[in-house]
Amino acid sequence: MPHRWIPHEVALADALVPGLLVVFIGCLLVLWLVDTVVGRFGLYRFVWHPPLFRLALFVCMFGSAGLLLFP
């Protein structure tokens, strides 16, 4: 039986929430940090459409991190 890094359900205050919710919130925090760094150094001027870039970056991060939950 393979070892899972993230449980399918997480107990928060006696309520079971999906493990993907924890991954989602973690990806939002990482995206916020990356967005702050990229915005501070003015790297968005090299991107055609910054909101679309942010969405694509989040989808890539969330999809990659979600594969840890469901390999």
Domain ranges of the chain: 18-69
Percent of the chain predicted with pLDDT > 70:
86
CB 69 within 8 A of CB 23: yes
Burial class of residue 35 in the structure, from the number of CB atoms within 10 Å of its CB (0-12 exposed, 13-18 middle, 19+ buried): middle
Residue 6 pLDDT exceeds 60: no
CB 54 within 8 A of CB 35: yes
Residue 1 pLDDT exceeds 60: no
Which pLDDT score, from 0 to 100, does residue 41 have?
A: 95
Q: What is the pTM of this model?
A: 0.79
Distance CA 7, CA 70 (A): 10
Residue 2 pLDDT exceeds 70: no
